[in-house]
Amino acid sequence: MQVMAHRGYSSQAPENTLAAFKKAIAFGCQWIELDVQLTADQIPVVIHDQTLERCTDGVGKIADLTFNELTQYSAGHWFDQTFSDETVPSLEATLQLAKQHHINLNIELKLYPEDDETLLCQRVAAVIDAAGIAKEQLLFSSFSVTALAAMQHIMPEIRRGLLWETMPADAFDTLTMLGAFSVHCDYRHLNRQQAAAIKQRGYALYCYTPNQPLEVEGHWQWGVDMMITDKPHRYVYKKQ
Ligand code: G3P
Ligand code: MG
């Protein structure tokens, strides 16, 4: 299937929870995208926002809470009460799930102002090493060039994908410097010429986050390899 479940199967279960990841696995997705950041006690956890309010019943910043404090809160009740028992998962638990089910993870290094980029990379790498998961199952992505450069140094064997909203002028210099594997573009801003240039240079090309297949019908012809979407079922005709 040429789709990646964005934050897990996030239209069917609360985003970035084990429930959402299990739904993606059950549906047959081969890739899951997730967002990772650090708690106050430096545990890599899977959550998108800088703060708890939108996706949990807590308040405040992720970076200000320990893992034990963070997991007191429900990360699923906001979506539906049937998911009330879901908590913000650790990256470690997520890796074990992926290892068990042989599913691939696109680990987005999510950095907010004042976050310690090097520390996030080091802690993520340590958890991956300890998990014993096959490195081929993993891909790092980030909007931060410096975070990907840090990962290139720390874990060069794991592939790197650069996220863009719009393609920068120095795009190919940066991709070369990073030894990047893939480019992840906002589907609304990518055009045919850019896609052709990216593919011509041999990069995998992914688009986020098209939830309406008709909006990206043309993108497949441009050479886009995979759509990162909340709604994998809408692309079932692309199932291979
Ligand atoms: O990796 C694609 C997409 O997740 C990037 O944006 O904000 O959903 O993490 P965001
Ligand atoms: Mg993301």
Whole-number Å distance, alpha carbon 39 to ligand 2 midpoint, is 17
pLDDT at 209: 98
Residues with CB under 5 A from ligand 2 (ion): 35, 108
Q: Which one of the ligands is nearest to 46 CA?
A: 2
Q: Answer yes or no: is 56 within a domain.
A: yes
Q: Answer yes or no: is 196 within a domain.
A: yes
Dihedral in degrees, nearest 10, Cα atoms 221, 226, 228, 232 = 90
Q: Answer yes or no: is 37 within a domain.
A: yes
The boundaries of the domain holding residue 198 are 3-234
pLDDT at 237: 63
What CATH number has the domain bearing residue 159? 3.20.20.190
Which atom, in ligand 1's list, is nearest to the CA of 141?
1
pLDDT at 1: 58
N-to-C CA span, the chain: 5
Which atom, in ligand 1's list, is nearest to the CA of 208?
2
What is the best residue among 163, 187, 225, 230 to mutate for testing ligand 1's pocket, by most ligand atoms within 8 Å of CB? 163
pLDDT at 146: 98
pLDDT at 238: 52
The set of long-range contacts for 51-57, using a CB threshold of 8 Å and a minimum separation of 24, is: 54/78, 55/14, 55/15, 55/16, 56/88
Q: Which stretches of the chain drop beneath a pLDDT of 50?
A: 239-240
139 Cβ below 6 A of ligand 1: no
In this structure, the residue with its CA closest to atom 10 of ligand 1 is 48
Whole-number Å distance, alpha carbon 55 to ligand 1 midpoint, is 15
Q: Answer yes or no: is 93 within a domain.
A: yes
Q: Answer yes or no: is 239 within a domain.
A: no
Three-state SS sequence of 126-172: HHHHHHCCCHHHEEEEECCHHHHHHHHHHCCCCEEEEEECCCCCCHH
C-alpha angle with apex 192: 189 to 195, nearest 5 degrees? Answer: 80
Whole-number Å distance, alpha carbon 118 to ligand 2 midpoint, is 19
What is the best residue among 7, 10, 33 to mutate for testing ligand 1's pocket, by most ligand atoms within 8 Å of CB? 33
Q: Answer yes or no: is 9 within a domain.
A: yes
pTM of the model: 0.97
pLDDT at 239: 46
Q: Answer yes or no: is 19 within a domain.
A: yes
Q: Answer yes or no: is 240 within a domain.
A: no
Q: Over pLDDT 90: what percentage of the chain?
A: 97
CB 29 within 8 A of CB 5: yes
What is the tally of structural domains in the chain? Answer: 1
pLDDT at 240: 46
15 Cβ below 6 A of ligand 1: no
